[in-house]
Amino acid sequence: MKYAILLGDGMADRPLAELGGKTPLEAARTPNMDRIAGTGLIGLVDTIPEGLKPGSDVANLSVLGYDPRRVYSGRGPLEAANMGVRLESGDVAFRCNLVTLGGDRLDVMDSYSAGHIGTDEAAQIIADLQRSLGSREFQFHPGISYRHLLVWKGGKSSLVTTPPHDITGQSTMSCLPKGEGEQAILHLMRDAAPILKDHPVNRQRIADGKKPANAIWPWGQGLAPRLVPLTETYGIRGGMISAVDLLNGMGVYAGLKVIRVEGATGFTDTNYIGKAQKAIESLEEMDFVFVHVEAPDEMGHAGDINGKIKAIEDFDEKVVGTVLKGLEGLRPYRVMVLSDHPTPIVLRTHSAEPSPFAVLSSESGENSGRGTVYSEAEGSRSGLLLSPGHHLMERFILGRLHA
Ligand SMILES: [Zn+2]
């Protein structure tokens, strides 16, 4: 059996007045996901356990079958694994965003991504931060676009930190790191400011009318988690295809091969078809593939209704459609599409309510074929709710969803 999970990050949403009471998923043209839901089955999955923040880290751990309440330790260490940064015992890894602060006193979160700064530009900045501020205790490692890593050897992991995409347009004053070790991190943030202010990359960005990366924002910290590899749990070999460090790192801890795709950006210009083709190629050798597409989530954060609809349509046509076609040559198969968590346009950040999933099997006996479409409302109407959501993976692999 070949298994494919196709995940549109943050696709799920809430009804919007601008769309006549439809959600972006309902407004988008999605014939391929509709076919999976209509021929196969649809349900809701509750990926965010109560008390945990609705992040992609928590949600995707659930999707991969891990109970986030037991294994979750922050997104920093997951991203470190993807970047090939080995964490020693006691190392605390932070996601370190390059951000743009605005306002007269530079205390407003203008852009959590420094205007989606380019990877090459960011690499020069991170290299200079490491040269000036790196030490035996603190190390900066470059990642993709605005997403970087800060490792604090023997650091404090219990700090309260805030995801910068949650405070877009808001004052940062009440959202700075708090708790044991806060002074060390605040010092680092302060010391970075003058280096960033005069950095040639930022001067050029300002001259080009782009947002400068004028601050660092460490968050999502934790120690390395321990995940039982999927090979051990289900006896399957598989791969992870994502442009996002977090997902690739989770793949590393889950024993998946991280498969790189040229032109995969984590944004709406991503190489959708390349990802899908790579997924099919990988399935010729492996049992399982997980394809993650970040673009719908980014459009949700941007509050861009049309952009989100377009990202969903691209995901449906280029990823889901291409994989469905390719799977026909690889029978028997089981394929699932889902959203890890909603990123409602009205909130411009993640929410914790369940998201719809849909599964189609090449074994017709596994399909319930109720003829519905893929949407939040149809997931709810199905009466199938997997909560806690980490049971979804086992039932998907074993083909026990329709029971
Ligand atoms: Zn997500």
User: Which backbone phi and psi does 148 adopt, to 5 degrees?
Assistant: -125, 180
Q: What pLDDT score was predicted for residue 305?
A: 98
Average pLDDT over the chain, rounded to whole? 96
Residue labelled with tokens 């490491």: 130
Peptide bond into 229 cis (omega under 30): no
Q: Nearest 5 degrees, angle CA 253-CA 299-CA 196? A: 75
Is the pLDDT higher at 151 or at 262? Answer: 151
Token pair listed for 388: 């806690």
Question: What local confidence, expressed as pLDDT, does residue 403 receive?
Answer: 57
The encoded tokens of residue 12 equal 């799920």
CA angle 200, 142, 78 (to 5 degrees): 150
pLDDT of 48-59, one tens digit each?
999 999 999 999
Task: Please give the average per-residue pLDDT across 302-319, as a whole number.
Answer: 98
CA of 389 to the centre of ligand 1 (A): 14
Cα(246)–Cα(244) distance, rounded to whole angstroms?
5
Alpha carbons 356 and 342: distance in angstroms, whole number: 9
Confidence of residue 75 (pLDDT cuts 50, 70, 90): confident
Q: Tell me: the pLDDT tens digits for 312-349?
A: 999 999 999 999 999 999 999 999 999 999 999 999 99
User: What is the b/e burial string over 285-315, where b = at least 16 CB atoms within 10 angstroms of the residue's CB?
Assistant: ebbbbbbbbbbbbbbbbebbbebbbbbbbbb
Beta strands 2-8 and 333-338 are parallel
Residues 174-196 have a mean pLDDT of 97
Question: What are the start-end ranges of the H helices in 272-340?
Answer: 272-283, 295-302, 305-314, 321-327
Window from 12-26, 32-46, 244-258, 370-384 with minimum mean pLDDT: 244-258
Residue type, 184: A
Cα of 340 to ligand 1 centre, how many Å? 5
pLDDT greater than 80 at residue 378: yes
Is the pLDDT at 266 greater than 90, yes or no?
no
Question: For residues 339 and 317, what is the distance between their CA atoms, to the nearest angstrom?
Answer: 16
Torsion of CA 129, 131, 133, 137, to 10 degrees: 120
Average pLDDT over residues 68-85: 90
According to DSSP, the β-strands at 257-258 and 147-153 are unpaired
C-alpha dist (Å) from residue 121 to 114, 246, 351: 11, 21, 32
For 332, the token pair is 């028997």
Report CA(187)–ligand 1 centroid distance (Å): 31
Q: How many CB atoms lie within 10 A of CB 187?
A: 12
CATH architecture classification, 2-72+226-398: 3-Layer(aba) Sandwich (3.40)
Pair type for strands 333-338 and 257-258: unpaired
Query: 195 CA distance to ligand 1 centroid (A)?
Result: 32
For ligand 1, a single-atom ion, the residues with CB < 5 A are: 9-10, 56, 340
* pLDDT higher than threshold 80 for residue 264: no
Q: From CA 70, how far away is CA 36, in angstroms rounded?
A: 32
Whole-number Å distance, alpha carbon 125 to ligand 1 midpoint, is 27
CA of 206 to the centre of ligand 1 (A): 30
Average pLDDT of the segment spanning 52-78: 93
* Ligand 1: centre distance to CA 104 (Å): 32
Query: What's the 54 CA to ligand 1 centre distance in angstroms?
Result: 8
Contact 361, 334 (CB under 8 A): yes
Per-residue model confidence as pLDDT tens digits over 193-217: 999 999 999 999 999 999 999 999 9
CA distance 74 to 224: 9
pLDDT above 90: residue 246: no
| Angle, CA of 354, 355 and 357, to the nearest 5° | 130
* pLDDT for the residue 265: 78
Taking the C-alpha atoms of residue 98 and residue 93, their distance in angstroms, rounded to an integer, is 16
Give residue 14 CA to ligand 1 midpoint distance, Å: 16
Query: How far apart, in whole angstroms, are the C-alpha atoms of residue 396 and residue 358?
Result: 10
CA 358 to centroid of ligand 1, rounded, Å: 17
Q: How far is the CA of 398 from the centre of ligand 1 (A)?
A: 25
- Report pLDDT for 402: 72
Give SS3 for 233.
helix
Summarize pLDDT for 116-173 with one digit per residue, the tens: 999 999 999 999 999 999 999 999 999 989 999 999 999 999 999 999 999 999 999 9
pLDDT at 9 over 80: yes
Which two structure tokens, joined as six digits, stand for 167? 């405070």
Distance 128 CA to ligand 1 centre (A): 30
Domain parsing of the chain, residue ranges: 2-72+226-398, 82-222
Nearest to 82 by CA among 258, 291, 261: 258
Q: What percent of the chain has pLDDT over 90?
A: 91
Instruction: Give 341 Cα–ligand 1 centroid separation in angstroms.
Output: 6
Tokens of 312: 């969903």
Contact 165, 114 (CB under 8 A): no
Task: Output the CA 295–ligand 1 centroid distance in Å.
Answer: 10
- pTM recorded for the entire structure: 0.82
